Amino acid sequence: MKRFVLGVESTAHTFSVSIVSSEGEILSNSKSVYKAPEGSGIHPFEASQSHIASAPAVLAAAVETSKVPLGEISAVAYAMGPGLGPCLRVGGVVARTLAAKLEVPLVPVNHAVGHIELGCLLTGMKDPVVLLVSGGHTMIISHSGGRWRVLGESLDLTLGQLLDQLGRHHGLASPCGRAIEEAAMGGGYRRLPYAVKGNDVSFSGLLTASKTMLDGGTSFKDVSYSVQETAFAMVAEVTERALAFTGKREVMIVGGVAANRRLSEMMTVMAGRHSAAMASSPLEYSGDCGAQIAWTGWLAYSSGSWIPVQDAKVRQSWRLDVVDTPWRS
Ligand code: AMP
Ligand code: MG
């Protein structure tokens, strides 16, 4: 019998609700995205107020679009972390209230695992080396011994933060990744710091140097192009090492930065050298969304992982390599 799970995402700028079926159909994926004022980053409290204001309409739209009566929902999943405390609590309260009202199990989901499992559902990849690149993460991940393991990561800023902070320095409003991608088209290359340390990357020197370059009069176009070429080559290098080390046959990019076509292009060339398949999560689902939580919620629920409603909590820090994944065992 087909079952339905409702998932709530609220870790950062996005409040989103989705309903998926046990067969992997995404029946709705409604969202509202908090926009920070021009030139500044996410303000956690203001983002949480925006989530509170939009939650009723987003929830109503997700239920209506899915055409699934609330009484047919088998479980409610929510992003328990990692993320911004005030934002996480809004999703936690909405999910807990719904689970109590519907008298169904509550399923806590790790947001990063959510990006990966939804990516696998949508790309058809089974056991990939994953490049998770978003506002909150820059990690190279592979599954082994019952968990997703981190094989490399950023030592400071995430790739999303690098792009957003550069864009904000230029006066754009976050998120700035797409504007930088567009500006980079036809830009010229200028040398910038390239920092790979072991299998980790560091973007802080690259950010400082690119801001200085902008302040010195280099065009936003050239700086955008050069930042993309440098940062994407760094993550492609460490992903390549992870691919060679694990001997896996698939590479998948997930997280908001997966929308970037130049990143996909470079990763496809790299994967091709190892005869590995390469796929990026589709644009509509690459950023934060309820579907990543609902689908992973179904995987967890169907393998017996849920909690009593009264035990609901949020975890601002929650690394994905401590999360058991019984559905993959
Ligand atoms: P997420 O945290 O997964 O919602 O991803 C948000 C991040 O993705 C932000 O840092 C955006 O700037 C970034 N992003 C979105 N679209 C693009 C793009 N086309 N190129 C690069 N980065 C992007
Ligand atoms: Mg994310």
Q: What is the pLDDT along the chain (329 residues), one digit of tens a residue?
A: 899 999 999 999 999 999 999 999 999 999 999 988 876 778 999 999 999 999 999 999 999 999 999 999 999 999 999 999 999 999 999 999 999 999 999 999 999 999 999 999 999 999 999 999 999 999 999 999 999 999 999 999 999 999 999 999 999 988 899 999 999 999 999 999 999 999 999 999 999 999 999 999 999 999 999 999 999 999 999 999 999 999 999 999 999 999 999 999 999 999 999 999 999 999 999 989 999 999 999 999 999 999 999 889 999 999 999 999 999 97
Q: Residue length, the chain? A: 329
The beta strand positions in the chain, using DSSP E, are 4-9, 14-21, 26-33, 73-81, 106-110, 129-133, 138-144, 147-153, 196-197, 200-201, 250-254, 277-280
Q: How far is the CA of 39 from the centre of ligand 1 (A)?
A: 16
Phi first, then psi: give them for residue 86, nearest 5 degrees: -60, -35
Please give the distance, rounded to the nearest whole angstrom, from the Cα atom of residue 74 to the centre of ligand 1: 32
Q: Which ligand is nearest to the CA of 163?
A: 1
Best mutation site among 110, 225, 257, 281 for ligand 1 pocket (most ligand atoms within 8 Å of CB): 257
Dihedral sign for Cα atoms in the order 209, 215, 218, 220: positive
Q: Which residues pair with 14 in a beta bridge?
A: 33
Ligand 1 centroid – CA 164 distance (Å): 8
Displacement of CA 65 from its chain's centroid (Å): 23
Confidence (pLDDT) at 227: 98
The minimum-distance atom of ligand 1 relative to the CA of 261 is 19
pLDDT score, position 318: 96
Topology (CATH level 3) of domain 4-115+288-328: Nucleotidyltransferase; domain 5 (3.30.420)
Residues of the chain with CATH 3.30.420.40: 4-115+288-328, 126-285
Take residue 12 and report the two structure tokens written for it: 């950062």
Whole-number Å distance between alpha carbons of 154 and 134? 11
Mutate to test the pocket of ligand 1, among 13, 35, 134 (most ligand atoms within 8 A of CB): 134
- What is the distance between the alpha carbons of residues 294 and 289, in angstroms, rounded to a whole number? 9
Ligand 1 centroid to Cα of residue 99, in Å, is 31
pLDDT at 8: 98
Q: What letter represents residue 131's amino acid?
A: L
Rounded CA gap, 153 and 319, in Å? 12
Strands 129-133 and 138-144: what pairing?
Answer: antiparallel
CA 216 to each of CA 194, 209, 219, 222, 223: distance values in angstroms, whole numbers, following the listed order: 20, 10, 9, 12, 11
Phi, psi of 88 (to 5 degrees): -55, -40
- What's the fold here for domain 126-285? Nucleotidyltransferase; domain 5 (3.30.420)
Q: Tell me if 142 sits within 8 A of 126, measured CB to CB.
A: no
pLDDT of residue 175: 87
Ligand 1, residues at Cβ distance < 6 Å: 134-136, 160, 163-164, 175-178, 181, 255-257, 259-260, 287-288
Near ion ligand 2, which residues have CB within 5 Å? 134, 288
Q: How far is the CA of 161 from the centre of ligand 1 (A)?
A: 9
**CA 299 to ligand 2 center in whole angstroms:** 19
Residue whose CA lies nearest to ligand 1 atom number 21: 177
Q: What is the pTM of this model?
A: 0.95
